[in-house]
Structure 1
């Protein structure tokens, strides 16, 4: 089983210039233009079927997981060590920024299959993801660190839309970070992903992110700023924001920087400025996870589900990749037909899932704690 699993390197600060991470077929921009030639602006492209030449060797589920377990520093422990609620919120802001990673232009992860999972451990942090819905695509994440008494719960639904010159993937759903030792829960959203095709191809994270501590009423507001249409100016991967006390509306800190370099906070009382995030220290030199116990890897593990396709993409064997992708997709259609013939509704294994028009998707983990995983990262 171990030889079948393909674990690609995580997104890191070096991703864009890493030759080992370049899985794109030749003439990728021309292929992209051809792909979207008949797509109308405003169209939802979440169900758009991409040929393998547009895929990277990993699913979106793995990408979400990497945001949590692939860091060079233990930022979660640093949050726990904060002496005051304000100290901890500032550390949560830095951790939230660390979940934003440079992506490869021209390729996208696989759309996870229904029930697909990703289970990885890093030290005492155990991370579990499950694809709880396929149409629309909804991914759930549960992570626990029993030593630090920290818990994470995410529920994400991504809706990509074609604008005519770009694709903007709107990320719906909330993230919760719970510090049980401090009795604090932080709720936040995620920035959207902008994939610009014209006039200069590239990726940006854009939009507003709000981070709120439910118990202390401290709030951080961040804006991920897109570059100008022609990439003029210095706002590449820029972040601006503030931290306020929502009860008094007092401005406590100003936030400024670039998520792929450094981010600072400025104290509004004494004008002191300090660095709270350094991307070079946090998301550089990251390595792919390794399989420690092949026999314990679940059949639903994303790196196993897509193993043949991932290996074909790494080898740039596009004919084999096409067949491998068809095999996975046809298997999913067979399972769907089988459920329908028996009148069964698919139920997630690891999460309770609900949806309301007002609140959107909600994913609640069934188990209190995530177990150790057979796949680990250092």
Structure 2
């Protein structure tokens, strides 16, 4: 199965080579074990990171900033966005669907939402996806598909379906990183919906912000508020993610506090407390009973790396194919090779853009996503609706 739009823009010879035997490199998923804190042996990395922002004004939008391969992890942003959905030890979406009453299902959704937060490494970032790039992976009966539907601004659409559990995910999100002198703060805008079709329930959720602190103590934290709401049941949750203090003291590092309440009356039902990289509990305010709803070690420790089950089924637009040569250079520590491979990808995209802008019709040729219908809503945000009702099984799978 080949993405025809990508074929038409990449050139027949290049696509033919990929179709015969795609060169694919899949890196291990981000997990608790994958974290590497900055220590006294890493001053050069800190200086290199700071050098990137030398000529950038505070308050600047960093959306279009391109990093050299020395600062990249061997995977695309599409993979990093979707890994929390398909790289898990326990099927928490199954738990959300199989809980018997609305309150239990809501608390399970809260736990699942927390599980999508993963540790990140200071000084390293994934590749910015190219326009039309896709990522298609299956874990058991859950099939996940992403597409980069816009490049400026960078907008990613995700659609996932599980026929067995009758669960569906719809995400349309776009990060907006800004530089503030001593830090980079990224707000993840857009809509994230989880649908439990067996119960007729849709859960709307947001995302905390990603904070990269440069000085005095470098580090990466998830901070700020996250809201989860189900209109059908009238339940709502507010979560507050805490990071390290300015001087690097542990304090509320990776803490999470919050509450579950009724939207209409604001009546408090549960208090939420814990750390998203350890355990999170809810306390029933009426009975005083405390229950562990999330254990990070049980959910995101020891994750398995996806594998290619069907090489011929890979699309040329697949992230693992697009960035494969760059990945090989990074993993083999041949940064010269990685730099040249990345440069070739970026130049190809510039050629495609120039060709589109000077099309034979005499006007700008609008690029159309292959798997989503994209529109701008009245608030100025992006909406992404999947063209197909269900996501098909993928050539890349996660071993169970």
Question: Paired residue for 2:183, among 166, 183, 191?
Answer: 166
State the match for 2:192 in structure 1: 175
Shift of 1:95: 0.2
Equivalent residue for 1:198, pick from 215, 220, 225: 215
Which residue is equivalent to 1:14?
33
Aligned to 1:47: 64
- CA change 1:7–1:26 in 2 (3 A) is farther
The reply to whether residue 4 of structure 1 matches residue 23 of structure 2 is yes
Return the match for 1:278 from 286, 295, 304: 295
CA contact (8 A) 2:190 2:382 kept: yes
Corresponding pairs, count: 373
Mean Cα deviation higher: 145-154 or 339-348: 339-348
Q: CA-atom RMSD, angstroms?
A: 1.5
Once the two structures are TM-superposed, the CA of residue 235 in structure 1 deviates from its matched residue by 0.7
**Alignment partner, residue 106 of structure 2:** 89
Gap regions ≥5 residues in structure 1: 19-24
Q: Answer yes or no: is the 8 Å Cα contact 2:245–2:251 preserved in 1.
A: no
Deviation at residue 3 of structure 1 after TM alignment: 6.5
Question: Take 2:377 and 2:91, find their aligned partners in 1: how far apart are those partners?
Answer: 36
TM-score (norm 2): 0.91
Tell me: CA distance 1:102–1:143, structure 2 relative to 1, closer, same or farther (3 Å): same
Moved more, 175-184 or 229-238: 229-238
Q: Does 1:358 align with 2:375?
A: no
Aligned pairs for 1:283-322 (under 5 A) are 283-322=300-339
Cα deviation for residue 30 of structure 1 reads 1.2
Shift of 1:47: 0.8
The offset of 1:359, in angstroms, is: 4.9
Find the aligned partners of 2:301 and 2:254 in 1 and give their Cα distance. 16
2:172 is the alignment partner of 1:148: no
1:37, CA displacement in angstroms? 1.4
In the aligned structure 1, how far is the partner of 2:36 from the partner of 2:70?
Answer: 19
Match of 1:127 in 2: 144
Q: In structure 2, what is the Cα distance between the partners aligned to 1:247 and 1:124?
A: 36
Q: 1:52 to 1:26 in 2, by over 3 A?
A: farther
Cα distance per residue 1:70-101 (max 9 Å; x no partner): 00100011011111111000000000000000
Using the alignment, how far apart are the partners of 1:33 and 1:249 within structure 2?
45
Q: How big is the shift at 1:230? A: 1.0
* TM-score normalised by length of structure 1: 0.96
Q: Determine if the alignment matches structure 1 residue 117 to structure 2 residue 134.
A: yes
Is 1:223 aligned to 2:223, yes or no?
no
Task: Tell me, yes or no, if structure 1 residue 376 matches structure 2 residue 393.
Answer: no
Change (3 A) 1:3 1:130: closer
- 1:60 equivalenced with 2:81 (yes/no): no
The Cα of 1:318 is off from its aligned counterpart by 1.2
Partner of 1:333: 350
Q: Specify the alignment match of 1:31 in structure 2.
A: 48
Contact 2:95 2:108 in 1 (8 A): yes
User: What secondary structure sits across from 1:320 in the alignment?
Assistant: helix
CA contact (8 A) 2:148 2:157 kept: yes
User: What SS does structure 2 have at the residue aligned with 1:253?
Assistant: strand
Of 86-95 and 339-348, deviating more is 339-348
Please give the alpha-carbon distance, in whole angstroms, between the structure 2 residues aligned to 1:55 and 1:112.
Answer: 12
Deviations 1:321-348 (A, max 9, x none): 1111110001111111111122421000
Deviations 1:143-172 (A, max 9, x none): 000110000000110011011111111100
State the distance in 1 between where 2:94 and 2:276 align: 21
Q: Give the match for residue 21 of structure 1.
A: none
